[in-house]
Amino acid sequence: MIISPDDRQFFETEGYLLIKNFYDHDAEIMPIQRDIYEIIGLVAQRHDIKISRRDFSPESFDEDYYALLAHDRRYASEVYDLTKQIPSFLRLISNQRSETLFRELRNTELAKFWSTARQRIVEQERGLAPDDRIAIYGAGIYGNFIRSCLANPDRVTCFLDQNRFLQGKELNGVPIVHPDNLPDDAGAVFVGLNPLNARRIIASVESLQSRKVPCFFLN
């Protein structure tokens, strides 16, 4: 258990809870700050916006964000959307410790969804041949969650994602590639997308349909 009954009571009454030192700043927070710093630079470059661009520091990593915001709020929104998909952020929010805390704070249907999805992934993996490699479609929250649930995460050969800002990067040491570049050795695709849209999106990906690789969904 991460929180005490008094912590839970405080959270239910006040709507927030401060847990000191829950995350390691140097190992878990600073990598996110550095990635956000890089995203801000890439978005500015993409839209040809001149920014001051001082060297990275945890104290001023996001100062140029406000220059983007002043230029056009859409550019700031672009940074926000990309930040939700960076590997360092995904590792933070989808690790077992964060999941346990969320479950303890909010014993809700959402927590039940994640628990059920985890069991479904376990069962799907058991149904594969021992030497089958896995591709995960979606290098976001759902995709990172899927990898964390696998008994053998080393069998993941790649993440598939259409976000060009993510392609060519790695998530937990696994390359992120365009769906058209699905490796030949992938024997199954685990779909890490919002379940409300997942089947519709996968049905529109021609490279997956032509390969006829089995796709497993979270629900």
**45 domain residue, yes or no:** yes
Two structure tokens written together for 145: 């969650």
* Domain boundary residue, one of 49, 83, 117: 83
Kindly write down the DSSP assignment for every residue of 127-176, as one continuous string. TS-TT-EEEEE-SSHHHHHHHHH-S-GGGEEEEE---TTTTT-EETTEEE
Q: What pLDDT tens digit does each residue of the chain (219 aa) get?
A: 678 888 878 877 887 889 888 999 999 999 999 999 999 999 999 999 999 889 999 999 999 999 999 899 889 888 988 887 788 888 887 777 887 887 777 665 566 777 888 999 999 999 999 889 999 999 988 998 999 899 999 999 999 998 888 889 888 889 999 999 999 999 999 999 988 889 999 999 988 988 888 999 998
pTM of the complete model? 0.62
Alpha helices in 47-72 (DSSP H): 65-71
Instruction: Specify the pairing of strand 186-191 against strand 170-171.
Output: unpaired
Range of the domain at 18: 1-83
Give yes or no: residues 3 and 49 share one domain: yes
Give yes or no: residues 121 and 52 share one domain: no
